[in-house]
Structure 1
Amino acid sequence: MKPVDAFILNQPEPYKAIVLHLIAVISGSFNALTLEFKYGVPYFYCNQKPFCYLAPNIKKNYVDLGIAKGFQLKYNQDILISENRNTVKSLRYSSLEAIDHNQLLSVLTEAMSLY
């Protein structure tokens, strides 16, 4: 079993379901991305460069979808969280129902334009 698969399967619910859903949406929408296990979390790469990661935070009850070049994004700033980070901005999801697919794809499409 790949390390990324083991990591995902070892997550408690609802984090496992959220991560699996986000992976399915991201993989199905952007063919140029590859999923790897880096920095202890599932990390998508575009042209061998970090694109975004999925980090479950069980203590704070959300999955953090961090976008590596998030600071360069111009749109959707009202929904992106920087939380004292200089380069990464993220979307946070505490349930499957909280995922707004239009916003998610809008943010990721803009991020892809940076690669």
Structure 2
Amino acid sequence: MNPAEAHILKQPEPYRSIYLHLQVLIEHTLPEANLLYKWRLPCYYIDKRPICYINQSKDYVDVGFWHSAHLSKKWDSYLVTEKRKVVKSLRYKTQDDIDDSIFISILKEVEGIKQKGFYKKDDL
């Protein structure tokens, strides 16, 4: 078992169930994605490009997207910035909070922009 999987399995409920559900969605949607353990967090990469990370923080699970500057504006009502300049995230307090279709749509869009930088040139 890799360290990222061990990290997921040692989470207390309800966070472990949220992590596992997200893991299934990510690995089903992006079968080429690799689960790595970076910065003490489970992170998904395609080749050497980061796609997202999963982190339990406070009373929610945060799925952060590094390439969020390039995502369609239609996702803005779902994504949280919380004063971060680069990363935007989806947050879930329960497994029922996860809208699979929205999550999968964002993953597919992130996959399509993974070659772009973290910043948009006009954002600098």
Q: TM-score surpassing 0.5?
A: yes
- The structure, 1 or 2, with the larger RCO (C-alpha pairs under 8 Å, 6+ apart) is 2
CA distance in 1, matches of 2:94, 2:36: 23
TM-score by length of 2: 0.86
The letter of the residue matching 2:67 is: K
Residue deviations 1:48-90 (CA, integer Å, cap 9, x gap): 1111000011xx2100000111122123111111111111110
The answer for the alignment partner of 1:62 in structure 2 is 60
Length, aligned pairs only: 113
* Match for residue 72 of structure 1 among 55, 60, 70: 70
CA distance in 2, matches of 1:103, 1:62: 18
The alpha carbon displacement at 1:106 in A equals: 1.3
The letter of the residue matching 1:10 is: K
Q: Write out the 4+ residue segments of structure 1 that deviate beyond 6 Å after TM superposition.
A: none
The answer for the alignment partner of 1:43 in structure 2 is 43
**8 Å Cα contact 2:56-2:62 kept in structure 1:** yes
TM-score by length of 1: 0.93
The answer for the alignment partner of 1:111 in structure 2 is 110
The answer for the alignment partner of 2:91 in structure 1 is 92
Matched, 1:83 2:92: no
Q: CA RMSD in A?
A: 1.0
**DSSP-derived class of the 2:75 partner:** coil
**DSSP-derived class of the 1:12 partner:** coil
CA distance in 2, matches of 1:76, 1:93: 15
Q: State the identity %.
A: 37
Matched, 1:53 2:53: yes
Residue deviations 1:7-38 (CA, integer Å, cap 9, x gap): 11211000011001100110011122111000
CA distance in 2, matches of 1:54, 1:21: 12
CA distance in 1, matches of 2:2, 2:32: 20
